[in-house]
Amino acid sequence: MDGLMELEKAGPSVNFIPCLTWVRRGVAKPNPERVKLTSEELGLVIKQTQRSLKELEEGEEEEKENVDTTNIKTGEDEKEVKQEGAAVKQEGEVVKKEHVKVKQEEKTEEDIAKEYGLEDYDEEEEGGEAQLLGLGDLTEYADPKDDPYLSAMDRELGEEDAEDQEDFMIRGTDNLIVAGHVEGDSSTLEVYVYNDVEDALYIHHDILLPSFPLALEWLAFDPESDTRGSLVAVGAMDPIIQVWDLDLVDSLEPAFSLGRKPRKKKGIARVGHKDAVLALSWNREVEHVLASGGVDQAVLLWDLNTQEVAASLAGHKEKVQTLAFHPMEAHSLVTGCCDAKVRLYDCRSPEKPLVWRVGGEVERVVWDHFTPHHLLASTEGGTVHYIDARKPSTPLWTLSAHTSAVTGLSLSTQCPGAVTTVAQDNIMKVWDISGPEPAFVCEKDLKLGALHAAHGCPDAPFVVCVGGDRRDDNFKVLDIREHAAVRQVFGSRRLVNPLRTAEFGHSTLAEAEPREDMETDTMQATLSSMSLAATTALATSCDPSLY
């Protein structure tokens, strides 16, 4: 996660995917609603944007004033600053006079003063109010109804090609993938449609974000509706968590936000996090609860119905980079922290969490839904730890999985033991953790640069999406069954459905519909099995010195 925050500071050259999540089949609206603004509505948006920008500027000035009160300059410093300011102003006057002199032959002094506003020059420089650059500055008409471009937009609201409308619809066999995408100074959510049966992948729509995204969590819940919704919560560099409605296209603002920045002058207190939000987890058993963790070392439980903080879990001594609610026990929440500890909280009495020390800053935590008392944790040191929640202090085993931070950790939704890891060493690996110790299955360089996120499809047990930082290619969806070693290890393993996903129609991998591009070369499978035993011995290690 520290790598993501460093990339955020890298400037306009970055292009990468920092976070990903899936939307289950059959939840998204078949025909999402388009937000189409009339000229009157756009006028209201422009005015609201101007007000928001003014409030933001006032908030920044207030923060600057607070900083200035704690950093009072000495008399000599103030004198020096005034002298520099006077020198700058003097240079400005010289430039102004030279400009007037050049034009003097063509125009009178009165004309020049009127044209360049020289009569008010000093007043604007000393006390003039700065103009806000926003949507309002893009309009030439005081009343948007007088703008011919916006009037033409109104006439086109109902005109849409039938073929485009069909492509816009989402079928019951489609999954959605939501990807946080950072390109230069632009941050967006890209909503992809993925169809496992037809092997189709394309961008359906995108959402412009105001801040660098760090964490995503899909919510099949809408506090403002009696029916099941499809929302995505976004944790970002900004401490305010935005929640967007995926069933609305071209929306200019989130459905709602969690948190509020303080405004001392107006007597408004802070609500929520004080710094960047690094982790989110939705409680699937108690659907109005969302957990968040951040740089401020806080873990907060949000009530989505009231959009207020319901509880705070104390005890973290560093940044909280990851957390996960138990998929079947509503009160159990596991967190991973930069103090190299995994903590398990009972949210009914969170005062004394169970604690495990691991081999470095914790990057990801995932519950093993096939063995509900067990969980996985990955670290910045490239290790993966398997923990029994009933046995505090020492993990069951430690795997040296990668040579750098394991930033993605995904357990198949339906195939017991199938784990996919990705890391900043650019490599994706597949493991079998069904035995007493983990076993290496296969690996692949995805050519996506350093990998920052991996997430398994909830409906297709062998499909994984991965995000990296290669500028020209940083996102990929793949089926790990394409590897002969995966088919050999998991081919006869019975699939189960502990998470009660939308569809479940196969007993084993072999019975699942094969992809056309999968190789079935017997020699390749034999060679993979020959290298399996040797690689397992090197890839697996238990280091008692870590605890």
Asked whether residue 337 is assigned to any structural domain, the reply reads: no
Other C-beta atoms closer than 10 Å to the C-beta of 68 total 10
Asked whether residue 5 is assigned to any structural domain, the reply reads: no
Other C-beta atoms closer than 10 Å to the C-beta of 416 total 20
Q: How far apart are CA 60 and CA 48, in angstroms?
A: 18
Q: What is the pLDDT of residue 145?
A: 55
Domain boundary among 132, 155, 178: 155
What count of residues does the chain have?
Answer: 547
If you search the block for the tokens 């026990």, which residue do you land on? 329
Asked whether residue 141 is assigned to any structural domain, the reply reads: yes
Asked whether residue 233 is assigned to any structural domain, the reply reads: no
Q: What is the DSSP code string of 271-289?
A: BS-SS-EEEEEE-SSSTTE
Q: How far apart are CA 382 and CA 402, in angstroms?
A: 5
Helix (H) or strand (E) segment spanning residue 377: strand 374-379
Alpha helices (H) in 200-347, listed in sequence order:
none
CA dihedral 409, 208, 176, 32 (to 10 degrees): 160
Tokens of 391: 């046995």
Closest alpha carbon to 443 in 493, 487, 485, 385: 485
**59: three-class secondary structure by DSSP:** helix
Helix (H) or strand (E) segment spanning residue 443: strand 439-445
Q: How far apart are CA 145 and CA 433, in angstroms?
A: 64
DSSP state of 136: G
If you search the block for the tokens 């029916």, which residue do you land on? 227
If you search the block for the tokens 């190299």, which residue do you land on? 340
Q: How far apart are CA 318 and CA 418, in angstroms?
A: 31
Q: What is the pLDDT of residue 541?
A: 39
Tell me which amino acid residue 385 is: H
Tokens of 426: 């650019």
Closest alpha carbon to 484 in 451, 422, 532: 532
CA-angle at 274, arms to 272 and 279, nearest 5° = 70
DSSP state of 82: H
Q: Are 29 and 247 in contact (CB under 8 A)?
A: yes
Tokens of 326: 């138990």
Q: How far apart are CA 195 and CA 172, in angstroms?
A: 10
Structural domain harbouring 480: 401-547
Count the domains in the chain: 2
Asked whether residue 534 is assigned to any structural domain, the reply reads: yes
Q: How far apart are CA 324 and CA 362, in angstroms?
A: 13
Asked whether residue 492 is assigned to any structural domain, the reply reads: yes
Tell me which amino acid residue 261 is: K
Q: What is the DSSP code string of 450-482?
A: SEEEEEE-SSSTTEEEEEE--TT--EEEEEGGG
What is the pTM assigned to this prediction? 0.75
Cα 438 from chain centre? 30
Asked whether residue 509 is assigned to any structural domain, the reply reads: yes
Q: How far is CA 536 from CA 38, 419, 544, in A?
A: 62, 15, 19
Query: What tens-digit pLDDT sequence spans the chain (547 residues)?
Result: 666 556 555 555 799 999 999 999 999 999 999 887 666 666 676 677 666 666 666 666 665 665 555 454 444 454 554 455 455 445 544 444 444 444 444 455 666 556 655 555 454 444 444 444 444 445 555 555 566 655 555 555 455 566 567 778 999 999 999 999 999 999 999 999 999 988 899 999 999 999 999 999 999 999 988 888 999 999 999 999 999 999 999 988 999 999 999 888 888 899 999 999 999 999 999 999 999 999 999 999 999 999 999 999 999 999 999 999 999 999 999 999 999 999 999 999 999 999 999 989 999 999 999 999 999 999 999 999 999 999 988 999 999 999 999 999 999 999 999 999 999 999 999 999 999 999 999 999 999 999 999 999 999 999 999 999 999 999 999 999 999 999 999 999 999 999 987 566 668 776 665 554 454 443 344 333 333 333 333 333 334 333 3
Domain boundary among 128, 155, 182: 155
Tokens of 484: 């002969």
Q: What is the pLDDT of residue 165?
A: 73
Asked whether residue 299 is assigned to any structural domain, the reply reads: no
Q: What is the pLDDT of residue 227?
A: 81
- Could you tell me the sign of the dihedral formed by the alpha carbons of 334, 339, 341, 347, in that order? negative
Q: Are 400 and 419 in contact (CB under 8 A)?
A: no
If you search the block for the tokens 């499909």, which residue do you land on? 463
Q: What is the pLDDT of residue 217?
A: 98
Tokens of 256: 């709602």
**218: three-class secondary structure by DSSP:** strand
Tokens of 193: 């449609």
Domain boundary among 104, 126, 155: 155
Phi and psi for 268 in degrees, rounded to 5? -100, 120
